[in-house]
Structure 1
Amino acid sequence: MKKGFFGLAAGTALITALSVSSAFAQKKYDTGASDTEIKIGQTVPFSGPASPYATIGRTQAAYFKMINDQGGINGRKIKLIQYDDAYSPPKTVEQVRKLVEGDGVLLTFQLIGTPPNAAVQKYLNAKKVPQLFAATGASRFTDPKHFPWTMGFNPNYFVEGRIYGQYILKEHPNAKVGVLYQDDDLGKDYLNGLKAGLGEKAKTMVVAEASYEVSDPTIDSQILKIKAAGADLLFSAATPKQAAQAIKKLYELNWHPVHILDINATSVGAVMKPAGLEASKGVISVNYGKDPLDPTWKNDPGMKKYFDFMAKYYPDGDANSNFNTYGYSTAQLMAEVLQRCGDDLTRANVMKQATSLKNVTGDLALPGMSINTSPTDYRVNKQLQMMRFDGERWQLFGPILEDKSPAS
């Protein structure tokens, strides 16, 4: 009798264990995910003043097409829903609401631009919808304490500005610095970072500051103001259109200050060529990814994968554009996070995976650089290397600069 009882108890325990195990193995989904599909959404400036960035969205769409052709992620196809917001914050609000409340996306991915991301940040955090790898480096997008559902991708603008300030102190300690900056979080973060890098000397070294609105037709008057102040070093915290205008105007004026340009405006195709390759010679910036124009990477396996991808999935795109390498790298990271989510495709788990990346290296990361995130440090790219434009392509110089100090 006792034997029968214990046999029954053991059998019951086994059934209970199996049912618990089964429960843990069950797939978990939030809105936007299913056995067959993962819906993600983004806004892209396919029109408007920041339309040079549109090719980023096209590259990302092509990348997910490639992923789907390969069977998807853990057997699920990626449905990327893209809307044009023309880099207009009110339009971004309208389109993101449509993505969340109409299309029912699991997350937003790589919304492009600082003002558009700022316009929807509170909304997405209130809805607990991941605002992943936002295409901006403003400090507010790497602030887990106040915005736990938002992660920027770009190097933090304040940190990048601080690096330029430190570079100026070392290489041009007697410079008279003029700053051209976009009048939003992007430009202000760069300006404040630059001053932080210059430290006490900022008060005497910065001789002129001139802001512009994205909608301004030209920045000629701002450049003339900075020149008149006697600046011999110009820092342009700008997006592509205004960066190209600044380079061109300096050349027209036959004015040759040391010119430092932020990382967002380093596209050869969208900035240097429109401004004039000769006019662009000597411009300084930073990078964290391989440049497709650099022969150093000719036989690099990651670069070969990228060129093969462009040839097959985006043949109309400029494979030499760093906007397209950016699109490729961001899409690759997004795919990596979704892969790590396994069958737990909840919004909370998406954020958990995105904020626990350790030594992740993409195909196009510079040697020695990797991605590390944590629940208290949302910054994706914290390593940079200086580079200078030689009239044809960017040339890297100096050591890898790693920022280990606070983001702001």
Structure 2
Amino acid sequence: MIDFSKFVEFHGLKKWAALLVMFSVLFLPSQVFAEAGVEPRRIVLGSHQPLSGPMKTYSQVGRGALIYFQYLNDQGGIHGRQLVLLQRDDRFQPQRTLEVVEKLVMKDRVFALFSGIGTDTSESAMPLLKSQGVPHFFIGSNARRFTEPARHGIFGLLPTAEVEARVLGAFVGSNHPGEKVILW
């Protein structure tokens, strides 16, 4: 049997490192920033979410982020700056994602994208984000392309589908040997 504990520990550490990087950027003193979306009293982030359409149940991720940001703001924000999260409805359609991300980057001048949902939707915005130097934190996709190879300014959130399959397979093999199991 393969021991995945070290693999999981490493990837868990990788996620914490990404969190540390994100929050280090957000908590740095104001003199460091000459960035879009970072203002004396607020930090503006953007997000593409399926607020309507067949995948709208995933918009709960964005609602959770808004609740957490409100909690942080109630505690005084980040070095006195309030976090603002502009969520735009992409209907889980890549072309629409590109349109809303272009508006977030070019018109709303967000500092970064935060927790966009979907593989093809997030990928559709990558060329624009790269050309404008806008990072994307915590992409809601388990596609390997958001974590391997590492790309500047791209921070995936979820383990890859391959990692999930290996971990689940190891669990089932250890805890339910010889049984028929369906994983969905």
- TM-score range with shorter-chain normalisation? 0.7 to 0.9
1:167-206 alignment runs, 5 A limit: 167-170=171-174
Q: Distance in 2 between matches of 1:104 and 1:25?
A: 17
Determine whether 1:102 maps to 2:25. Answer: no
Residue 182 (structure 2) aligned to one of 259, 262, 279: 259
Residue 58 (structure 1) aligned to one of 63, 71, 75: 63
Is this contact kept in 2: 1:125–1:150, CA < 8 A?
no
2:169 match: secondary structure: helix
Structure 1 unaligned segments of length 5 or more: list them. 1-23, 176-256, 262-408
Structure 1 match to 2:160: 156
Is this contact kept in 1: 2:139–2:155, CA < 8 A?
yes
Determine whether 1:78 maps to 2:78. Answer: no
Q: 1:46 offset after TM fit, Å?
A: 1.0
1:202-281 alignment runs, 5 A limit: 258-261=181-184
Structure 2 match to 1:133: 138
Is this contact kept in 1: 2:140–2:157, CA < 8 A?
yes
Q: 1:116 offset after TM fit, Å?
A: 1.1
Number of residue pairs the alignment of both structures matches: 156
Q: 1:122 offset after TM fit, Å?
A: 2.9
Structure 1 vs Structure 2 CA RMSD:
2.3
Q: Letter of the aligned partner of 2:38 in structure 1?
A: A
Q: Distance in 2 between matches of 1:74 and 1:121?
A: 30
Q: Letter of the aligned partner of 1:54 in structure 2?
A: S
1:105 match: secondary structure: coil
Alpha-carbon displacement from aligned partner over 1:58-117 (angstroms, at most 9, x marks no partner): 121122122222221101111111101111111111101110011000000000122211
Q: 1:164 offset after TM fit, Å?
A: 2.7
Determine whether 1:34 maps to 2:39. Answer: yes
Q: Letter of the aligned partner of 2:78 in structure 1?
A: I
Q: Distance in 1 between matches of 2:141 and 2:65?
A: 16
Alpha-carbon displacement from aligned partner over 1:123-168 (angstroms, at most 9, x marks no partner): 21232211111111211111354x2111111122211112233345
Structure number with greater CO (CA < 8 Å, separation at least 6) is 2
Q: Distance in 1 between matches of 2:93 and 2:158?
A: 20
Is this contact kept in 1: 2:30–2:40, CA < 8 A?
no
| TM-score, structure 1 as length reference | 0.36
Q: Distance in 2 between matches of 1:174 and 1:68?
A: 52
Determine whether 1:121 maps to 2:44. Answer: no
- Indicate how the Cα distance of structure 1 residues 76 and 166 shifts in structure 2: closer, same or farther if over 3 A, else same: same
Structure 2 match to 1:211: none
Structure 2 unaligned segments of length 5 or more: list them. 1-28
Structure 2 match to 1:93: 98
Alpha-carbon displacement from aligned partner over 1:274-307 (angstroms, at most 9, x marks no partner): xxxxxxxxxxxxxxxxxxxxxxxxxxxxxxxxxx
Structure 2 match to 1:349: none
Q: Letter of the aligned partner of 1:85 in structure 2?
A: D
| TM-score, structure 2 as length reference | 0.75
Is this contact kept in 2: 1:108–1:131, CA < 8 A?
yes
Alpha-carbon displacement from aligned partner over 1:317-368 (angstroms, at most 9, x marks no partner): xxxxxxxxxxxxxxxxxxxxxxxxxxxxxxxxxxxxxxxxxxxxxxxxxxxx
Q: Letter of the aligned partner of 1:163 in structure 2?
A: V
- Indicate how the Cα distance of structure 1 residues 63 and 173 shifts in structure 2: closer, same or farther if over 3 A, else same: closer
Q: Distance in 2 between matches of 1:171 and 1:76?
A: 48
Structure 2 match to 1:362: none
Q: Distance in 1 between matches of 2:96 and 2:51?
A: 12
Is this contact kept in 2: 1:144–1:150, CA < 8 A?
no
Q: Letter of the aligned partner of 2:163 in structure 1?
A: V
1:108 match: secondary structure: strand
Moved more, 66-75 or 162-171: 162-171
Q: Distance in 2 between matches of 1:128 and 1:27?
A: 16
Alpha-carbon displacement from aligned partner over 1:168-210 (angstroms, at most 9, x marks no partner): 55556667xxxxxxxxxxxxxxxxxxxxxxxxxxxxxxxxxxx
Structure 1 match to 2:18: none
Q: Distance in 2 between matches of 1:76 and 1:60?
A: 17
